[in-house]
Amino acid sequence: MPKQTPHHQVLLLGGTAEARVIADNLARRDDVSAVLSLAGVLSQPPELALPLRIGGFGGVEGLVQYIQDHGITTVIDATHPYAAQMSAHAVAACDQTGARRLSLWRPPWQAEPLDDWTDFEDWHALMATIPNGARVFLAAGQDGMNALPVPPDFTVIARALARPKNLPEGVTLIKALPGKTPQEEVAIFQEYRISHLICKNSGGDSSRAKLLAARGLKLPVLMIKRPLSSPPPLYDTPDLLLAAL
């Protein structure tokens, strides 16, 4: 009798560029049926090759229910390195249901000698070090926005893809993707006379140009530390993760 290939019923937790790569690959495999799940942060989700579900599951309990109702055999966690809650829920729900979990772990950026980076355990400590009159570029999503002192005694220029739910008064919003090249980022930092960059240590290439720009302009970079990663198995790249599947 010919050996039967196992069929994977995959729930792909997305929200990253890598998740899109994984989605494209899964859509081409005939040993996989997969659905991509997004939190629903963006009003217009990107067009992707997989069926899509949008919105939270309702905690660990809701995720367990989803896994059981849809016969999910494998959960791929390709959420952002700072999406700690979703990742923790995936770990717990897979433990409870016996579904297999494969987690993407994007390596953090590493400072080089000309960089002036400071890591902070929490947002409060980070905001407290910003001097009066500074002009900060905030590239840290809604978390960073929520952590701003009210009112800040420094100027804030924030960049986000979508208008944040709570945009504090007085914050200048640049609704845009991160610049692709350090030159683009230098131009923005110079236009707004930026003195400090606040960001997360997200890793990857798509938002790295701002750090190269900060290095060139000798700007201090204030970073909020990464949350702890999920337990293994962790894969650095979509290719490694897909090979494991």
**Minimal distance, residue 220 CB to ligand NAP, in Å:** 21
**Minimal distance, residue 153 CB to ligand NAP, in Å:** 25
Cα 235 to Cα 19, 103, 161, 216, distances in angstroms = 13, 6, 27, 32
Q: Which CB sits closer to ligand NAP, 103 or 195?
A: 103
Q: Which CB sits closer to ligand NAP, 56 or 233?
A: 56
**Residues engaged in binding ligand NAP (CB under 6 A):** 13-16, 37-39, 41, 56-59, 62-63, 79-80, 82-86, 89, 141, 200
Q: In whole angstroms, give the CA distance from residue 146 to residue 193.
A: 23
Residues contacting 164, CB < 8 A, separation 6+: 141, 142, 145, 158, 173
Phi, psi of 36, rounded to the nearest 5 degrees = -100, 135
Cα 207 to Cα 34, 217, 219, 226, distances in angstroms = 28, 17, 17, 16
Helix (H) or strand (E) holding 221: strand 221-224
Q: Which CB sits closer to ligand NAP, 220 or 227?
A: 227
**Minimal distance, residue 36 CB to ligand NAP, in Å:** 8
**Minimal distance, residue 72 CB to ligand NAP, in Å:** 13
**Minimal distance, residue 17 CB to ligand NAP, in Å:** 9
123 class by beta-carbon count within 10 Å (0-12 exposed, 13-18 middle, 19+ buried): middle
Q: Which CB sits closer to ligand NAP, 6 or 55?
A: 55
Q: Which CB sits closer to ligand NAP, 61 or 153?
A: 61
**Residue 74 · residue 233 · CB < 8 Å:** no
